[in-house]
Amino acid sequence: MAEIFPDEGLDIVLNIFPRGGSNLTTTYIGLWTSFTASTVGSSSQTRANYTESDFGSYARQSIAAASWGAISAGTGGRKTTAGQVTFPTATGAGTNPITGFGVYNANTLGSLIYAANFDDTTAVSIANGDVIKVTPTIQYNN
């Protein structure tokens, strides 16, 4: 599994701490089909480089700040996990398999704060009637 805070995501984080900016009360999770099931983009790649899924009824889902759990040990760092997010039931198949998820600062467009593949590094093909559920986890490594 690969994960990254691209530069545009680091800008958001650094504007909150140490600069004293406003916390994000809501973030959004989206599913992308770019790269492979075990790779993410480079630090300079932005939201525009992560093609989101196009299955019928697809839409980013909101994550309230209170949904993020306690900080705990991660693999070589610290992590937090949000409550499981259920995407709408697919009303049509997606063109490409889903290879990971992103956490964004807006429901549409906005900036990509964090991107990761699924833990099992398996791409997910969505067919009509499928439901995908994701438990978002964000980790900072030492």
pLDDT in tens, 125-140: 999 999 999 999 999 9
3-state secondary structure (DSSP) of residue 48: helix
Q: CA dihedral in degrees (73, 77, 40, 28; nearest 10)?
A: 60
The owner of tokens 């790269």 is 35
Distances (CA, A) of 60 to 35, 100, 101, 117: 19, 13, 10, 16
SS3 19: coil
As a whole number, mean pLDDT of residues 26-49 equals 97
**pTM for this entry:** 0.95
- How far CA 98 is from CA of 18, 68, 117, in Å, comes to 35, 23, 9
Percent of the chain with pLDDT over 90: 97
Tokens of 98: 């889903």
pLDDT of residue 122: 97
**Residue 114, beta-bridge partner list:** 103
- Asked if the model's pLDDT at residue 115 lies above 90, the reply is yes
Tokens in use for 111?
């900036």
> Is 129:88 a contact under the CB 8 Å cutoff?
no
pLDDT (tens digit per residue) in 4-17? 999 999 999 999 99
Q: Is the pLDDT of residue 1 over 90?
A: no
Task: Kindly tell me if the per-residue pLDDT of 117 is higher than 90.
Answer: yes
* pLDDT 10s digits, 57-95: 999 999 999 999 999 999 899 999 999 999 999 999 999
